[in-house]
Amino acid sequence: MNLVFFVLIGAAVVVAAVAEITGGSGAMAGLSTAALKAAEGAVPLALGLVGVMALFLGLMKVAEEAGMIRATARLLAPLMGRLFPQVPPTHPAMGAMVMNVAANLLGLGNAATPFGIRAMEHLQKLNPHKDCASDPQALFLALNTASVTILPTSVITLRAASGSANPAAVIAPTLAATLVSALVAITAARLLAPLFPPPPATPMVESSEEDPEPPPPPLPAAYGWLALAALIGIIPLMAVHGAELGHWIVPGLMVGVLGYGLTQRVKIYECFVDGAREGFAIAVRIIPYLVAILVAIAMLRQSGALDMILAPLARLTAPLGIPPEALTMAGLRSLSGSGSFGLLASYMNDPAIGPDSFTGILLGTIYGSSETTFYVLAVYFGAVGIRRMRHALAAGLIADLAGLLAAVAACVAFVT
């Protein structure tokens, strides 16, 4: 992360300095202003996450106390165990990762973040190198950048607001693209792991204080496959009625978790408040990491270095059927969630593109099938104090590239 941070800022300063020397008056002043504004904006962004963190970590605390997380881990242990063989089958990390993946599947980006941070905290307890990412943590982060999505809620909402005749047209290509990027993320993380070995250390055994009783055995694999089949069965329903059903997800989740907690005699109010308190602490803890990554990205954009990188690539990819707007969207999406969403909104309202053209659907698919890789890396690793990310960034960027190519292929297959 040290090298990445320096390269982002160094490239921005060099480009702005060259522009200033060659007559671009105000380039360095603009760079300074962008850096200061980004630093100021990091704190409101983190504080804006407090409410979301408190809500969903409160719900997750209730789910943990009621046994939902453990039951979910047991149900999907045969499947998740293949992806994360280093994690005990019924460890709380399994359940937290499942909740994170489920939130991404349903397009609940805000909910996925606190679930992901909780999963990273559990994985950190199994990590013998506390400042260095473990293989499961790197794989989990790569899967988050791929973020398999059935219902890209924000894109559907934006398309509807832009006057689209079929706001849900992005569901099928987004699902196809994210499935491809997820497979690539898994493959890349597995292949790159031996090339970035962690430092030698004596493995640490997790304390049994949190789990004094021996964990129950995993359920038979057939139950996990049935759960997967049920999930696949939801896909056609979401494809047809996704725009309407999307508004039911969060209220349904709240009622379901709290109701189950009541049936298990959990003091849901006190438990929810305890979890919400943890959400506030996490949101405050990640502020320094947000400041660092947001300042670097803002300087890169302000200096014009990002455009200098993407413009030549756009000319190379045009013969492959990838319009320049798509490459710009993909590049900005990896760096900034708010920036890429604003760019998508401007494209959707551009009469030359619009929401229902091939390019418009492709741009929505790219946004819905990718993630802000640098932001996720800073937040997830920052929350647990990891400074050496090993192969996590490389695997995430490879997944982003695969998602872009898969989005183009999916839109060609489903739209044209």
3 state SS of 176: helix
Question: Residue 74 — pLDDT band, cuts 50, 70, 90?
Answer: low
Amino acid at 232: I
Distances (CA, A) of 114 to 38, 262, 307: 23, 23, 32
pLDDT mean across residues, the chain: 79
Domain spans of the chain? Answer: 2-198+217-414
Distance of CA 16 to the CA centre of its chain: 31
Amino acid at 44: P
Token pair for 282: 């996490």
Token pair for 53: 């963190």
Q: Distance between CA 182 and CA 361 in Å, rounded?
A: 21
CA torsion sign for 31, 37, 39, 45 is negative
Q: What is the reported pTM? A: 0.70
Q: Tell me: pLDDT of 369 over 70.
A: yes
- Reported as a single tens digit per residue, the pLDDT across 178-236 is 889 999 999 999 999 999 988 775 544 444 444 444 455 555 556 556 666 666 666 66
Burial 324-358 (b: 16+ CB within 10 A, else e): ebbbbbbbbbbbbbeebbebbeebbeeeebbbbee
Q: Distance between CA 181 and CA 364 in Å, rounded?
A: 16
Burial 49-67 (b: 16+ CB within 10 A, else e): bbebbbbbbbbbbbbbbbb
* Cβ neighbours of 26 (radius 10 Å): 11
Token pair for 306: 């990002």
* Least confident among 9-23, 86-100, 168-182: 86-100
Confidence (pLDDT) at 185: 92
Q: What percent of the chain has pLDDT over 70?
A: 81
Phi, psi of 366 (to 5 degrees): -60, -45
CB 285 within 8 A of CB 114: no
- Reported as a single tens digit per residue, the pLDDT across 139-185 is 999 888 877 787 777 787 778 778 888 877 888 888 888 889 999 99
